[in-house]
Amino acid sequence: MAGEAMQRADERGDAGRAVLAGIRVVDLSTLLPGPYCTQILADLGAEVIKVERPDGGDPARSIDPALFAAINRGKRGVALDLRRAQDRDHLDALVRTADIVVEGFRPGVAERLGAGYERLRALRPGLIYCSISGYGQEGPDRDFAGHDVNYLGVAGALDPPPAPGQPPRHFITVPMADVAAALFAANAILAALLRRNQLRVVGVEDGSREDGGRKDGGAYLDVSLAGSALALMSGRLDNRRARALGGGGYGAYVAADGRALTVACIEDAFWRRLCVALGRPELADAPSWATYARRRVDAERIDALLATEFAQRPRADWLDLLRAADVPAAPVNSPAEVPDDPYVAASGLLIRTEDGGETVWAVRYPARMPGLVVPPGTPDTRRAPALGEHNATPLEEIARTPGEDTR
Amino acid sequence: MAGEAMQRADERGDAGRAVLAGIRVVDLSTLLPGPYCTQILADLGAEVIKVERPDGGDPARSIDPALFAAINRGKRGVALDLRRAQDRDHLDALVRTADIVVEGFRPGVAERLGAGYERLRALRPGLIYCSISGYGQEGPDRDFAGHDVNYLGVAGALDPPPAPGQPPRHFITVPMADVAAALFAANAILAALLRRNQLRVVGVEDGSREDGGRKDGGAYLDVSLAGSALALMSGRLDNRRARALGGGGYGAYVAADGRALTVACIEDAFWRRLCVALGRPELADAPSWATYARRRVDAERIDALLATEFAQRPRADWLDLLRAADVPAAPVNSPAEVPDDPYVAASGLLIRTEDGGETVWAVRYPARMPGLVVPPGTPDTRRAPALGEHNATPLEEIARTPGEDTR
- With a cut of 70, say whether residue B208 has pLDDT above it: no
Q: Is residue B107 part of a domain?
A: yes
Instruction: Report B:235-254 residues touching A (Cβ under 8 A).
Output: 235-240, 243-247, 250-254
Asked if A75 and A50 touch (Cβ cutoff 8 Å), the reply is: yes
Q: What's the rounded mean pLDDT across residues A69-98?
A: 95
- With a cut of 90, say whether residue A170 has pLDDT above it: no
Percent of chain B clearing pLDDT 90 (strictly above): 67
Note the pTM of the prediction, 2 decimals: 0.91
Answer whether B149 touches A (CB < 8 Å).
Answer: yes
Q: What is the pLDDT of residue A300?
A: 87
- With a cut of 90, say whether residue A125 has pLDDT above it: yes
Asked if A219 and A128 touch (Cβ cutoff 8 Å), the reply is: yes
φ, ψ of residue B76 to 5 degrees: the values are -90, 145
Same domain, B64 and B41: yes
Q: Is residue B346 part of a domain?
A: no
CB contact under 8 Å between A250 and B171, yes or no, is no
Q: Is residue B357 part of a domain?
A: no
Closest Cβ opposite residue A328 in set B150, B327, B330 = B150
The number of C-alpha atoms within 13 Å of B191 and in the hemisphere containing its C-beta is 36
Same domain, A323 and A385: no
Query: Which chain B residue has its CA at the smallest distance from A211's CA?
Result: B370
- Terminal alpha carbon distance of chain A: 35
- Terminal alpha carbon distance of chain B: 35
Q: What is the pLDDT of residue B330?
A: 96
Query: pLDDT category, A174, cuts 50, 70, 90?
Result: confident
Percent of chain A clearing pLDDT 70 (strictly above): 83
Q: Is residue B49 part of a domain?
A: yes
ipTM of the complex: 0.91
- With a cut of 70, say whether residue B97 has pLDDT above it: yes
Answer whether A325 touches B (CB < 8 Å).
Answer: no
Number of domains in chain A: 2
Closest Cβ opposite residue B141 in set A252, A343, A360 = A343
CB contact under 8 Å between B332 and A158, yes or no, is yes
Q: What's the rounded mean pLDDT across residues A189-209?
A: 71
The CATH number of the domain where B82 resides is what? 3.40.50.10540
Q: What is the pLDDT of residue B296?
A: 87
Same domain, B313 and B175: no
pLDDT by residue (tens digit) across B116-163? 999 999 999 999 999 999 999 998 999 999 999 899 999 988 876 666
Answer whether A164 touches B (CB < 8 Å).
Answer: yes
Q: Is residue B363 part of a domain?
A: no
The reply to whether omega before A160 is within 30° of 0 (cis) is yes
Same domain, B389 and B284: no
Answer whether B354 touches A (CB < 8 Å).
Answer: no
Same domain, A195 and A288: no
Substitution target in B201, B267, B369, B406 with the highest count of A β-carbons within 10 Å is: B369
Residue A91 domain boundaries: 2-237+377-398
Residue B259 C-alpha, separation from nearest chain A C-alpha, in angstroms? 8
The CATH number of the domain where B330 resides is what? 3.30.1540.10
Q: What is the pLDDT of residue B344?
A: 95
Closest Cβ opposite residue A333 in set B153, B172, B335 = B153
Q: What is the pLDDT of residue B377?
A: 62
Q: Is residue B120 part of a domain?
A: yes
Substitution target in A237, A312, A353 with the highest count of B β-carbons within 10 Å is: A237
Helix axes B33-43, B176-197, angle to 10 degrees: 50
CB contact under 8 Å between B66 and A238, yes or no, is yes
Answer whether A17 touches B (CB < 8 Å).
Answer: yes
CB contact under 8 Å between B233 and A335, yes or no, is yes
Q: Which residues contact A226 (CB under 8 A, 6 or more apart)?
A: A134, A135, A136, A141, A146, A151, A154, A155, A177, B343, B344, B347
Angle at A33 between CA B368 and CA A103, to 5 degrees: 65
Same domain, A180 and A128: yes
pLDDT by residue (tens digit) across B26-79? 999 999 999 999 999 999 999 999 999 999 999 999 888 899 999 999 899 999
- Using a CB-CB distance cutoff of 8 angstroms, which residues of chain B are in contact with residue A237? 335-336, 338-339, 350, 361, 363
Instruction: Report B:105-124 residues touching A (Cβ under 8 A).
Output: none
Same domain, B223 and B258: no
Q: Is residue A363 part of a domain?
A: no
Q: What is the pLDDT of residue B256?
A: 95
Same domain, A273 and A151: no
- Using a CB-CB distance cutoff of 8 angstroms, which residues of chain A are in contact with residue B381? none
Same domain, A289 and A192: no
Same domain, A185 and A304: no
Q: Is residue B320 part of a domain?
A: yes
Distance CA(A316)–CA(A319), nearest Å, equals: 5
Lowest-pLDDT range of A13-27, A36-50, A243-257, B209-223: B209-223
Same domain, B56 and B119: yes
Q: Of B252, B216, B382, give the one whose Cα is nearest residue B328.
A: B252
Q: What is the DSSP letter of A212?
A: B
Same domain, B193 and B280: no
Mean of all residue pLDDT scores within chain B: 86
Three-state DSSP at B203 gives: coil
Query: pLDDT category, A338, cuts 50, 70, 90?
Result: very high
Query: Active-site positions of B?
Result: 178
pLDDT by residue (tens digit) across B357-398? 788 899 999 999 988 998 776 556 678 999 999 988 876 666
